[in-house]
Amino acid sequence: MNMAHQHVATSYMEHGYCFSWEAGLVWLHVASDVATGVAYYSIPLAMFYFAFKRRDIVFFRIYLLFATFILACGTTHFFAAYTVYVPAYWAEGYLKAFTALISALSAFLFIPLIPKAIAMPSLSRALDENRQLNAELTRKVDELQQASKTLEQAHYELQLSETRFRATFQQAAVGVAIIGADGGFLGVNSKQCDIVGYSTEELLAMKSQQITHVEDRPSTLALFQKALDGEIKNYAIEKRFIRKDGSHVWINQSVSLVRDLNSVPAYFISVSEDISARRETEQEKERLIDQLQDKTTELERFIYTISHDLKSPLITISGFLGFLEEDFRSQNAAGFNSTVSRISLASERMKQLLDELLELSRIGRQMSPPQQVDLGSLVAEAMEVVAGRISAAGAMVEVQSALPQVEVDRQRLLQVYENLIDNAVKFSANSQPPRVWIGARLDGSEPVFFVGDNGIGIKPAYLDKVFDLFEKLDPRSSGTGVGLAITHRIITIHGGRIWAESDGEGRGAVFCFTLPNRERGARS
C-alpha cells in the first residue's frame, strides 16, 4: 500500500481526467464497474455458500478456482471504479495480473475437463433416470409386497390344509398308517390304534408284519415286495390283524407306495377297514344259504320218497282187487282169502305210512321248550311203553344206574328211546338170549348216550343208510322205515348227532347220540 501511495503521490492523474470529470461519464463508469463488481462478488459468494451446503460437488477444486477467478474479476471492476478517483494504477495492474493468472489457470485446467464434463450425465437425464429407477424400485417393492402377501396366503392355506389333513387323518373312520419301506410304522391314526388295541407309541415302535396274522404274512409280504420292486403301485388285501390281546380282526387293507422325487420308495400309506362285522354277516349268510339248500334237498328227497312209497300200497291194492275179480269169476275160493288179506294189509300199511309221515313232519314244527329231565326215569317210562315187545321176545334189558340230567324236549326224547329200545328188541329177538343195554359214557368231555343190542347187526357200509326215510335193511322186518328217520330228526333238531356202531352182521349194534350241553344249546 505504501508503494501504491507513493505512485499516487508521485506521478499519475486520476482516471477521471480521461473523462474530463464530466459527471455523467464518470458516474456511468463508476456505477457500471461497481454494479459489475457487486454482481461478480455475489456469484462466488453464492458458489461458496452452495459448496458449503453441498459437499458432494464434482470437480471441487476447479469450482473453487472458478469462484476465485470470478472474485478476482469483480475486484478488478471495483478497482476500475476506484482508479477514477485515485490513480493507483500499479496496484490495479498487479491485481489485473493476478486476475489474468487465475483466469489463465482456470482456462488451462477447465478445458481438459470439458470431455469429462460432457461425459457426465446431465442433471435432467440423471433426474429422469432417477425417476425411472424410483418407479422401478416402487414396482419392485410392490412386487415384493405382493409376493410376500402371496407367500403369507400360501402359508396360511398350508396351515389350513395341514390342520384339515391332521383332522382327517386322526378322525378317519378307517385305520390309516404310514409305513416305512422296512415295514416300521412312521405314523398311525387313532382308528388304526383302536383296530389293533395298541397305543400310538407302541405302534410306532413296531413293524407292520408284527400285527399281521401269521397265515397272512406271506401273501402280504409278497405284495409289499411287488410294490417295492415297482411291479404294482398299490394293492388291496383282505387279511387279519393280531390285536394286542391276541385275538384277530378281519380287515380290508388298501396300501399304496409313495416314492420320492428320485423314484426311491419313501413310505407306504395303508388304509385299513374293520370288516369283521361284514365277514360275520357273509358267513352267516353262507351258513343260511347252505342250511336252506340242505332243507330244499331234504324236502325234495322227502317228496320223492313219499310219492314212491305211498304209491306202492296203491299198486298192491289195485292189483289184488283185479285178482279178486278174477278169483270171483272163476269161483276160486282158496285164492280169495289170501288176496283179501293182502289188500287189507296194504291199506293198513298205507294208513301207518301216512300217520308216521304226519308225525315226522310235526317234529320241528311242534316242539316243547327244553326242560330239565332225569334220564333214568325217562328211560323207565320208555321201557313201559314197549314192555309188551320186551316180554314177548324174552329180552334182558340192562339200564345203567345214575343216568345224568339232560335238558331236552321231554316228549320227543321219550319217542327217541321208545324207537331205539323197540328196534333193539326187534332185531335181537332171535339171539339167545336177546340182550339190550342202555347207558351213557363220556367221549372226552362230551356225554354220549347209547342203546345197544346183541342182534342181527349192520354191515359197516349200511351204517349211515339206516337213518334214511323208509330205509329198511331187512325187507322182512316189520315197520315202515320211518322210526329211525324220526329219531334222527329229533336228535338233529336238538343240535345233537346220532350214529350207529356195529362190527357187522350178526354182531349186534349200538345206536349212539349226543345232546348239546346247555351253553351250546343257548348259543344255537
Partner 1 sequence: MSGEAINILLVEDNPDHAELVKRGLQSNNVANNVFHVEDGESALEFVFQRGPYVGAKRPHLILLDLRLPRIDGLEVLKALKSNEDSKRIPVVILTTSDAEMDIARAYDYHANSYMVKPVNFEKFKELTKTLGFYWFVWNKQPENQ
CB 474 to partner 1: min, Å: 7
Comparing CB distances to partner 1, the nearer of 308 and 520 is: 308
Residues 324-343 that bind partner 1 (CB under 8 A): 325, 342
CB 481 to partner 1: min, Å: 9
Residue pair 290/306 in contact by the 8 Å Cβ criterion: no
Q: Which residues pair with 514 in a beta bridge?
A: 448
Asked whether position 49 contacts partner 1 by CB under 8 A, the answer is: no
Residue from 262, 331, 475, 524 binding partner 1 (CB under 8 A): 475
Asked whether position 346 contacts partner 1 by CB under 8 A, the answer is: yes
Window contacting partner 1 (CB under 8 A); options: 33-41, 169-177, 421-429, 462-470: 462-470
Comparing CB distances to partner 1, the nearer of 74 and 483 is: 483
d(CA 305, CA 159): 77
Q: Site size for partner 1, by CB under 8 A?
A: 28
Per DSSP, the three-state class of 433 is coil
d(CA 226, CA 235): 9
CB 212 to partner 1: min, Å: 49
Angle at 15 between CA 13 and CA 20, to 5 degrees: 95
Asked whether position 470 contacts partner 1 by CB under 8 A, the answer is: yes
d(CA 389, CA 420): 13
How many residues does this entry show for the chain? 524
Residue pair 166/189 in contact by the 8 Å Cβ criterion: no
Element (H, E) at 332: none
Residue from 316, 352, 480, 492 binding partner 1 (CB under 8 A): 316
For the chain, give the longest Cα–Cα distance.
216
CB 489 to partner 1: min, Å: 20
Read off the amino acid at residue 477.
S
Window contacting partner 1 (CB under 8 A); options: 39-47, 52-60, 417-425, 469-477: 469-477
d(CA 173, CA 281): 20
Comparing CB distances to partner 1, the nearer of 86 and 306 is: 306
CB 512 to partner 1: min, Å: 22
Own/partner contacts of 337-340, CB < 8 Å, gap of 24 or more, are none
CB 497 to partner 1: min, Å: 24
Burial state string for 249-282 with b = 16 or more CB within 10 A and e = fewer than 16: bbbbbebebeeeeeeeeebbebbbbbbeeebeee
Residue from 46, 58, 289, 321 binding partner 1 (CB under 8 A): 321
CA 425, 428, 432, 437 torsion-angle sign: negative
Comparing CB distances to partner 1, the nearer of 4 and 473 is: 473
Residue from 131, 278, 308, 351 binding partner 1 (CB under 8 A): 308
CB 460 to partner 1: min, Å: 12
Q: Which residues pair with 252 in a beta bridge?
A: 238, 273
Residues 6 or more apart whose Cβ sits within 8 Å of residue 391: none
Comparing CB distances to partner 1, the nearer of 188 and 469 is: 469
Asked whether position 298 contacts partner 1 by CB under 8 A, the answer is: no
Window contacting partner 1 (CB under 8 A); options: 75-83, 262-270, 280-288, 465-473: 465-473
Asked whether position 312 contacts partner 1 by CB under 8 A, the answer is: yes
Residues that bind partner 1 (CB under 8 A): 304, 307-309, 311-312, 314-316, 318-323, 325, 342, 346, 459, 462, 465, 470-476
